[in-house]
């Protein structure tokens, strides 16, 4: 038996689910304490299950930030839903994110139905409390707690950091006893190439409006380290589905693609700890969202 002073160490996997744009990635980044996933106010920004690792003396939380569960309209959409279902079957706790600033809708109810088959305890988190007034938050806590049988219901503002630590402590208590799963210095298991591609995609999503977001994929074609000049040369391709979308990404006289490059480069230099020369090209990969071979090539 362990003495009362010695609380056993706990560790395990926690999946964040919620409809698109429910604040899952912002919450993941707040819990980890650094940026491990891209954030955009466009739905369906996350396309892979990203793992962020939270290190605390009493436990380690491995966060799995899933793409938003939704009714799929393409093969890509179907594959994204499969990623979520595979993830959920294999975690210790599920965090169901419901935004405070939008009424509970069919998307939330759709997810609640999917969660009925899950054995893991569910913590309902009402996100974005900074974007709603106290009454809205109170009403949302009531509405959200009726969606599923929850172990806990917690209001959180990831942007302001409100209740983030409380949520961490609640999650650790629900995890099984066990040693850390990742070394102390590791905060994500995303490979560098994918992180670089996501930084380009995030910058592009901020710069282009209209119809491009869902049609955009990014691949890193080459990473060339130049130790003699403390420089990393990166060549990336932005893939769109139609010729008409190409000018939207390039902009007049290449103004938009330059702005995308400047913004992505800042994140890349932080990530790599070196100066970056970034070379971006836009290519048309016709209707890739519904083509299995093209999806495989793009890593979906």
Distance CA 116, CA 72 (A): 20
Is 128 part of any known ligand binding site? Answer: yes
Is 68 part of any known ligand binding site? Answer: yes
Residue 141 near residue 168, CB atoms below 8 Å: no
Please report, for residues 111, 231, 280, the alpha-carbon distance to residue 262 in angstroms, rounded to integers and kept in the order given.
Answer: 38, 16, 11
Residue 14 near residue 63, CB atoms below 8 Å: yes
Task: Indicate the length of the chain as a whole number.
Answer: 300
Dihedral Cα 276, 277, 283, 288, nearest 10 deg: -10
Distance of CA 100 to the CA centre of its chain: 19
* Structure token digits, residue 255: 């103004």
Is 67 part of any known ligand binding site? Answer: yes
Is 20 part of any known ligand binding site? Answer: no
Distance CA 114, CA 278 (A): 42
Distance of CA 222 to the CA centre of its chain: 24
Q: Which residues contact 30 (CB under 8 A, 6 or more apart)?
A: 158, 159, 161, 164
Residue 20 near residue 101, CB atoms below 8 Å: no
Is 65 part of any known ligand binding site? Answer: yes
Please report, for residues 8, 66, 271, the alpha-carbon distance to residue 57 in angstroms, rounded to integers and kept in the order given.
Answer: 10, 26, 26
Binding-site positions for GTP read: 65-69, 127-130
Residue ranges for the known binding site are 65-69, 127-130
């Amino acid at each position: 038996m362990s003495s009362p002073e010695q609380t056993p160490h706990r560790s395990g996997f926690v999946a964040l689910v919620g409809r698109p744009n429910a604040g899952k990635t912002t919450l993941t980044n707040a819990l980890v304490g650094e940026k491990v996933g891209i954030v955009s106010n466009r739905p369906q920004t996350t396309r892979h299950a990203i793992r962020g690792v939270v290190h605390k003396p009493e436990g380690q939380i491995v966060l799995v930030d899933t793409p938003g569960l939704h009714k799929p309209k393409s093969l890509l959409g179907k594959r994204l839903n499969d990623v979520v279902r595979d993830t959920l079957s294999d975690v210790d706790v599920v965090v169901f994110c419901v935004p405070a600033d939008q009424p509970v809708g069919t998307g939330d109810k759709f997810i609640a139905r999917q969660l009925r088959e899950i054995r893991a305890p569910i913590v309902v988190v009402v996100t974005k409390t900074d974007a709603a007034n106290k009454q809205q938050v109170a009403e949302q806590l009531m509405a959200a707690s009726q969606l599923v049988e929850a172990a806990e219901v917690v209001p959180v503002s990831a942007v302001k950091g409100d209740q983030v630590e409380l949520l961490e402590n609640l999650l650790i208590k629900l995890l099984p006893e066990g040693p850390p799963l990742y070394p102390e210095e590791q905060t994500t298991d995303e490979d560098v190439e994918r992180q670089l591609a996501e930084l380009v995609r995030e910058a592009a999503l901020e710069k282009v409006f209209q119809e491009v977001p869902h049609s955009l994929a990014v691949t890193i074609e080459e990473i060339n380290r130049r130790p003699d000049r403390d420089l990393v040369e990166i060549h990336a391709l932005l893939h769109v589905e139609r010729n008409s979308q190409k000018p939207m990404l390039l902009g007049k006289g290449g103004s938009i693609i330059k702005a995308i490059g400047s913004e992505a480069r800042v994140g890349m230099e932080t990530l790599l700890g070196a100066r970056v020369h970034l070379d971006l090209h836009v290519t048309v990969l016709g209707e890739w969202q519904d083509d299995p071979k093209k999806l495989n090539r793009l890593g979906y």
